[in-house]
Structure 1
């Protein structure tokens, strides 16, 4: 039942019902649904091939710098390969912190090489000048993850993305920075998921701490994308593609400034929605009601605190504006008409904007209900259902269409119902639903939060309609009139400044004046590279590993 335990508990707890009655309610209505409301996109991390900087450049002032940069890059490459081979779930999530450390450790070496090539002094040690001599143009290969692979291959080829070779150090730095932003997004996602969907219901303090940490990661990711979008040196990285690439493209949408600007807006939209989620008692109560391990309902019903509904609604509108701006930017990115952004990411941004607008309508409805205008509140909820694409939204247009269809033939009604179901399935696909999870598992499902929001709206609508039919009997105005007068959005987070790449300290630079040591590693074999390509199609498990999801894991 969509109304679940929460709506019934609010009614019965108002009459001081004993915990035994709440037990019956929980056992009757608690049906775990496989969704979450993370509202953070799950980016796929790229991979790269071996690169030795000693082959392309030398340093007369710091001979060990190229080798030290190669060592740091090798550590990052190995960490990315190890991460892809881990089974999805807690093992991959725990490995993200290792990836963050290796990426942030590699970036200072890239900045030192860039400063040496451009004869610029470093920030931390302006007296330590670095001289770099370029032997040949640096060529590195990375596998893009935002490019739609089906647009670059014929029907006879396997739909997978090969590595793209790019020229110049800026191409390498741009991909490393993109990897950093994807890791930060993943850390934000698992931080919220682990806390909100744990087997034990988190306290308000735990929920606040997890969301604040996730918001910090998203703001850092937005700053990284802002740097890639605004820096002139990275603006040409998308066009620094070698001519011998197999797909024949000359530009890469992953590094396009428009793509990076859109991803920066997307991170701000997600951070804004997380700020609202922190104090959203309705969502927290719905999650608690679906958790089969929760026992707090035996003592007390979920507590619904009064919220600053009008403020939260304007924040959600601003998040919707960010998401719609990101969707427009990603949709405009093309590479000679052949390559575009992956459909999953593009669909996610579009659905996230609709979820944000639906949540704004829900908070406007809460604000109206608190003011005694329950009829207007119901209209807002039906407008929210229409924004989500839920069938039977109850808007004025839908009601008129329902009246007209009564006189139609059975075939016309069947066709209309089929079209509505197809639209709803498309929305669910774009939202990021995963059908492969076990039934009853409270784990990652809907990336955009569409299913969770529709559940909250359905719960409130059922409760308010029942109250309006029995007590208030107010008229329900058309939803279209309310949607036409939505206010402007309001920012809660200021746009972060572009990310500043960390620098090597003076002590590290002094040590690199020594001659380089002999390399103890070489380029990866073709077998290792083929393993990575196979992992993108079908995940391979080795003996001793655990399955993708455990039946008893809640994270």
Structure 2
């Protein structure tokens, strides 16, 4: 459904030691205070157990980001001689030395040019120089937070102990879609300019324009699938049937109203196209041997595209079944199972084929099918194991849930076809190749704009700064942080080593 990112952390930074302002003396210290609050929020979020506690804390991180970004914009505009405050306020910034900040690169895989010195799966912090590097990593963190908020909003509503109503499901999906569209605009902004001044920051896989463009496409794919999920009664019914706390079946059977199958199918095809664009973009990042993106994200994007195509096949099958073509509908469901890497055919058909096979051929087929299923399950994304519950949402990409829905429909339609209609089931091998073009449902979001300081805050910045009581050890313990790797030094080392080959 929505990928759950790991939020980066950052080290202490006293901005007033690198620059000063003659027109707004309190601006550097106020920016350091806002950054300190963001650093504390990120480190507190990292220490919380996965699940509801981290989800509830995302709002705190989002507020800290929104409070810090206006100060970064003011400093950047001051360094570039741009007036702020409705083009009436001029901020003069004197740069004493190049700003140096450290961030933990959570999307970077282990490569020679970006060494990972942490233990286990902990990524190393990278050191960058300049205000552009600081803005780029802060905005990237904002995109992660928005995606995580979308993830928690959908999962906590759909998989609640009490089955949500249609209104509750619609509200949660609309809220999550809004977060994803905002995340897409942030990543698009970074992919185009990487900073307000248009200067690309130091090459880190997390900040690579190809990575940011891929993350934007991935967010659009997820938002498009959520638009389908909002009215997908089949998924809601399947989740409800597995809910041990649901008692609605005692009163009435679950109703599955007719859906706009053709429209939903084309939306799913478009989501698959977005996911495939994201997969290609993420694969390009490490193509030049300079460090790539972690495999979990690449595999998730790849599986999400297959889930979207499988969902499109399911809706084509629903449209055929509503038209009385049950045999064609079963073929579409089997095409969907092929896209998901599941075994094709209902249990009765599979049992009959197993009886006809003997010896090594049957063992070879079963081993190949199980290996494909395990590979797809691994690539689909890790489960959220922070909280154990009887109603498990499964993998992040939604492969397991889509597989359950397809199995439910196939069992029902095959039984109906065997007893009533008796229609021939055509071959499903060519159906995936003949899918129609996709269709967008969301209008292109407007360009992202960094939030600016209001006039009252700019007036307060003209006052002299107070005492600075924020230091490197004034917040949470920093003992778990690893020493940062200077990105420029690692790039030079890689160039030096490449001269001998």
Q: TM-score, normalised by structure 2?
A: 0.90
Pair 232,458 (structure 1): closer, same or farther in 2 beyond 3 Å: closer
CA shift for structure 1 position 89: 1.8
Counterpart among 96, 100, 124 of residue 139 in structure 1: 100
CA shift for structure 1 position 483: 2.2
Q: Which has the higher contact order (CA 8 A, sep 6+)?
A: 1
Counterpart among 438, 443, 459 of residue 489 in structure 1: 438
Does the 8 Å contact 2:110/2:116 carry over to 1?
no
Name 2:327's counterpart in structure 1: 375
Q: What secondary structure, in the 3-state scheme, does the structure 2 residue paired with 1:149 have?
A: coil
The alignment status of 1:337 with 2:282, answered yes or no, reads no
Alignment partners' CA distance in 2, 1:238 and 1:352:
30
CA shift for structure 1 position 234: 6.8
Q: What secondary structure, in the 3-state scheme, does the structure 1 residue paired with 2:13 have?
A: coil
The alignment status of 1:80 with 2:42, answered yes or no, reads yes
- Alignment of structure 1 residues 26-425 onto 2, 5 Å: 39-122=1-84, 124-149=85-110, 159-231=121-193, 233=195, 240=202, 251-334=203-286, 336-392=288-344, 410-425=359-374
Root-mean-square deviation (CA), in Å? 2.7
Deviations 1:328-363 (A, max 9, x none): 000110275141101100000000000000000000
CA shift for structure 1 position 162: 1.1
Does the 8 Å contact 1:228/1:235 carry over to 2?
no
Pair 288,344 (structure 1): closer, same or farther in 2 beyond 3 Å: same
Alignment partners' CA distance in 2, 1:428 and 1:524:
43
Alignment partners' CA distance in 2, 1:87 and 1:105:
25
Note the residue ranges of structure 2 that are not aligned, 5 or more in a row.
Answer: 484-501
Pair 288,405 (structure 1): closer, same or farther in 2 beyond 3 Å: closer
Name 1:8's counterpart in structure 2: none
Note the residue ranges of structure 1 that are not aligned, 5 or more in a row.
Answer: 1-38, 241-250, 395-399, 535-555
Alignment partners' CA distance in 1, 2:369 and 2:22:
69
Residues matched between the structures, number: 481
Pair 86,471 (structure 1): closer, same or farther in 2 beyond 3 Å: same
Deviations 1:178-197 (A, max 9, x none): 11111111111111111111
The alignment status of 1:523 with 2:472, answered yes or no, reads yes
Alignment partners' CA distance in 1, 2:194 and 2:344:
50
CA shift for structure 1 position 422: 1.2
Does the 8 Å contact 1:57/1:132 carry over to 2?
yes
Name 1:27's counterpart in structure 2: none
Q: What secondary structure, in the 3-state scheme, does the structure 2 residue paired with 1:186 have?
A: helix
Q: TM-score, normalised by structure 1?
A: 0.82
Alignment partners' CA distance in 2, 1:235 and 1:419:
53
Counterpart among 425, 438, 441 of residue 390 in structure 2: 441
Alignment partners' CA distance in 1, 2:142 and 2:8:
10
Does the 8 Å contact 1:383/1:480 carry over to 2?
yes
Name 1:475's counterpart in structure 2: 424
